[in-house]
Amino acid sequence: MAMSCKDGKPGLDNGKYVRYTPEQVEALERLYHDCPKPSSIRRQQLIRECPILSNIEPKQIKVWFQNRRCREKQRKEASRLQAVNRKLTAMNKLLMEENDRLQKQVSQLVYENGYFRQHTQNAYVHCRRDFSRVSFEGYWNCC
C-alpha cells in the first residue's frame, strides 16, 4: 500500500512524496523490466491486473516510471564515467612515468652538455693561446 509521509494515509498527499511498500516496488520493478515506458492505457491496465498497485494513483505510477527511467540513465552514465575515469587514471600514470623518464633524460643531457661545453671552452682557450703564440712568434720570425 502506498503511504504518504505526512499523515500515514494511502495514496497521494497533495503532491507530496509517496512511500511504496517493498511489495509494490517489487511489482513495479517487474513491470518496468517488461515495459520501461508504459502508455497511459497500459498503466491503467497494470493497476487493474496487479491488485497490490490498485490503491496508487495512475499519475503516481507514471511518476514512478519516469523516476525509474531517470535512475537507470544516471546509473548508466555513472558506470560510463567510472570506466572513462579508470582509463584516464591509467593513461595519467603512464604519462607521469614517461614524464619522469624524460626529465631524467633531460637532466643527463644538461649535465653532459655542461661537461662538453666546459671541455670545448678549455680546448678553445688552449687552442687560442697556442695560436696566438704561434702567430706572434711567426710574426717576429718572418721580419
Which domains, from first to last, does the chain contain? 3-113 (1.10.10.60)
pLDDT band of residue 5 (cuts 50, 70, 90) is very low
The confidence score (pLDDT) of residue 44 equals 94
Q: How far apart are CA 11 and CA 13, in angstroms?
A: 7
Q: Is the pLDDT of residue 8 over 50?
A: no
The confidence score (pLDDT) of residue 14 equals 59
The confidence score (pLDDT) of residue 6 equals 36
Q: Determine the straight-line distance between the first and last CA of the chain, rounded to whole angstroms.
A: 124
pTM (2 d.p.)? 0.60
Structure confidence by residue, pLDDT tens digits, 99-125: 999 999 999 999 998 888 887 877 777
Contacts of 69 (CB under 8 A, 6+ apart): 36, 37
